[in-house]
Chains A and B, each alone.
Chain A
């Protein structure tokens, strides 16, 4: 992992500073992106918004995979395994339920006055 190794190296040398600022910059910019993107979401879709954000926040599974991946079975690996299970429930459940909701918002040809 690029940043990971860089971080470790830099942290070893300086213990503060650059890598954190770098990540913090990304964080702040992402908050701004989130702010503008979410305001553009139509209020009718706020429920799907919640369930899809719930699904994508399960990207935390990345951390779980790292813990569950090493060869030796130890306490951390078990913790990682549990986290993989929990995050997977969310990923599958979150995306499927969002999809179910959105399927209901499809245009209904016969009832909406348009020809499509």
Chain B
């Protein structure tokens, strides 16, 4: 294939990828977008395979078949509730693939046209080591995120003294090793870069708590893009550069949106430690437990909602854990059958990844026209008779607006307190992730429904029937 044709083919692939993301602007065009994404990938792979330097296809075919089979089986078998873990695991694979490509390029630079072993161009070495370093951080960081999301590691942040100093020292060694590599082409420097980056990835993500995972997953998404970019520069491959830049900025925007949803800066999230034992607010909260609360049963909740004219559902991570989305939709169908208007309100950081709640509700066949974002629905709580909070807590806490000493002060919240009655499904009185007491629990118009989200919703469904 002539060089011009190859160049155009990579351009076509890049355009396909841009259109694939563009398609996601609405659910209707999204599936066309995916088709274009697949097309772009096929174009990119075929174009490369027809390169004259590629003469042996056995390993390539085996690799694609083995990898494709694993990917297909995993993607078809995975439960939708395990989606955040799956995405984290996939990110780690992209990172690791970038590391392996960088290693291959370092030991066989002739294939990539960037010099000979032991004498690689300085610019290529920088690009290559950036790709490898970011890839390695993505790999190990995503592994930790995966462990935290899956629960094997426990969601609580792991903080030890001297953590930031250690990270700083490691980063300095990393930069020094890159300079060393560029000047000497030493193999050892290359391995040190990869080793330190892997350790850094672990250390960066370990101190971040479970509920900050939406930010972490978005950030790692972004890293995997930058890693691809680094490799793209090494290969002088425009398709790879464009795609890496798209993915990198996409992840960065998602991280920004998630941070804004919590009113925290990305640095605040990265420095970690949030959501363990928060000092001030918890101490105050301790005294609050004695206050009177009103708890009710499924029948009570069913009675209140049946007599309402408008109910707004606020789902949170608790719904995902209990897998209550199907029961919830059943409940809403019954309510709608009884003439009650039902809408869903989604906080940007509800769940463990961006858009987590939307996917779970879609899985339960909730029409997406009934699902609203925070800005769209927040004013409507005042016209709603019931706010039904299922497995969410901090995102409804009015302390975010009223109490400047609160850990969550300034976070945009869903204003459920404006609704006529607030129903909270919770397993216990325990405070939310942020360790902040929610004074909504003690209000007269609040009824607590203490149970597993799914069990409670099912009992409401029975009572409605």
Contacts and interface: CB of A to CB of B under 8 A. Distances in A.
B20 interface: yes
17 contacts: A2-B4, A27-B242, A30-B245, A35-B253, A43-B358, A43-B373, A44-B373, A48-B30, A56-B20, A57-B247, A79-B100, A83-B100, A86-B67, A86-B93, A89-B90, A93-B70, A95-B41
Dominant secondary structure at the A interface: helix
Interface residues of B, number: 123
Contacts of B428: none
B463 interface: no
Interface stretch (B75-83, B388-396, B412-420, B441-449): B75-83
B64 A30 contact: no
Contacts of B238: 3, 23, 26
B248 A34 contact: yes
A3 B71 contact: no
Given A2-B7, A59-B40, A92-B70, 20 more contacts: A1-B236, A33-B242, A34-B245, A34-B249, A37-B21, A47-B87, A48-B30, A53-B246, A58-B97, A60-B240, A64-B63, A64-B97, A66-B51, A70-B53, A70-B108, A79-B101, A100-B75, A100-B76, A100-B80, A102-B31
A52 to B, nearest CB: 6
Contacts of A60: 94, 97-98, 101, 227-228, 231, 240
A5 B238 CA distance: 13
Contacts of A41: 21, 24-25
Kindly list the 9 A-B residue pairs having the minimum CB-CB distance in the complex, ordered from nearest: A88-B67, A69-B54, A46-B355, A84-B63, A93-B71, A92-B71, A76-B108, A34-B249, A67-B104
B103 interface: yes
Contacts of A84: 59-60, 63-64, 67
A76 B233 CA distance: 19
Interface of B: 3-4, 6-7, 13-14, 17-18, 20-22, 24-28, 30-31, 33-34, 37-38, 40-41, 44-45, 48-49, 51, 53-57, 59-60, 62-64, 66-72, 74-76, 78, 80, 83, 86-87, 90-91, 93-94, 96-98, 100-101, 103-105, 107-108, 111-114, 121-123, 217-218, 221, 224-225, 227-229, 231-251, 253-254, 257, 346, 348, 353-356, 358-359, 362-363, 365, 367-369, 371, 373
A38 B100 contact: no
Contact of A4 (B70, B86, B236, B363): B236
Given A31-B249, A46-B355, A69-B60, A57 B244 contact: yes
Contacts of B229: 27
A54 B108 contact: no
Contact of B368 (A15, A44, A49, A70): A44
B31 A76 contact: no
**Residue among B37, B60, B90, B96 with the most chain A CB within 10 A?**
B90
